[in-house]
Amino acid sequence: MACAGLAPSRAPRVVTRREGGASAFARPSPPSPPPSRPLAAKTPWRTAPRHDPTRRRIPAARIVVPRASAEPVTSLAAELASLVARGSDTRDDARVRAIVDELERARAPADPRALTGAYEVAWSEGTMAWRALVARGVSAIAGRSRAGQWFTPGAPGRALNFAELFDGRVTITAEGTFRPKPTEDARHPIGFDVQIERGDALAFGRRWTLPIEGPGEFQMLYGDANVRVFRSSGGVAVQVPSDWQRPAAEDEE
């Protein structure tokens, strides 16, 4: 017989209440996964090439910009000097033009020797050629005639243009300063600005002042100790070293 106030000898039975046929204490069902998205078409896999030790790997091609070497430029310049020294009867003018074009494209480094001392015109083209024709005509009558420039380096440099006629009996000069134009590198072609300050003529032992002055410009397409090529508004001239010396008047000696 059980005593009042004492707990029953066994645990009370838990009565569950069913709602809609389900237990009130039943675990909730896991949430449904979100609707799946349609899968994109897969790119077919590429099979990695197997390493073949017998195959050689070919390096990627490299684009190399050719540069003119010093040897061909030197050879061209020597050929040019030889051609213009032969005289008009045996000279190949077409070959001279071709060499001038090649030397200009070569963009050889500047040579300071080309701007030191006297050089005289040995070949010319353009309106400069008229000067050469006149010089040859005068030479046929009264001996040798020649023209050229004498440069003295400096800051600025000195430029002396000379024309010698009648086998040196008449000399015309024009002198002034020259400066190189600004450039990114010291390679040909190199531009120069010239400022002529005065001129004179020497004949029969006397010197007369000439009203020659004003600005000018020219390009040196190539130059070394043996030959140089100038371009100006008058055309193209090839020059070689000269033994010309500025003569003095009788009252200057």
Q: What are 125-144's pLDDT values in tens digits?
A: 876 554 555 555 555 555 67
pLDDT at residue number 56:
53
pLDDT at residue number 6:
43
Q: What is the enclosing helix (H) or strand (E) of 160? A: strand 157-165
Within 10 angstroms of residue 116's Cβ, the number of other Cβ atoms is 15
Beta bridge partners of 148: 120, 162
The pTM of this model reads 0.66
Q: Which of 152, 170, 179, 250 is nearest to 210 (CA)?
A: 170
- Which CATH number fits the domain 70-252, given the four candidates 2.60.40.10, 3.40.50.150, 2.40.128.280, 3.40.50.10950? 2.40.128.280
Q: What residues have CB less than 8 Å from 181, skipping those under 6 apart? A: 190, 191, 192, 193, 217
pLDDT at residue number 188:
96
**Which two structure tokens, joined as six digits, stand for 74?**
């030197």
Q: What is the pLDDT along the chain (253 residues), one digit of tens a residue?
A: 444 444 444 544 544 444 444 444 445 565 666 655 555 555 455 555 555 555 555 444 444 344 444 569 999 999 999 999 866 556 789 999 999 999 999 999 999 999 999 999 999 987 655 455 555 555 555 567 889 999 999 999 999 999 998 888 899 999 999 999 998 888 999 999 999 999 999 998 999 999 999 999 999 999 999 999 999 987 999 999 999 999 988 777 6
Within 10 angstroms of residue 1's Cβ, the number of other Cβ atoms is 2
Q: Which of 176, 212, 210 is nearest to 193 (CA)?
A: 176
* b/e map 41-65, b = 16+ CB within 10 Å: eeeeeeeeeeeeeeeeeeeeeeeee
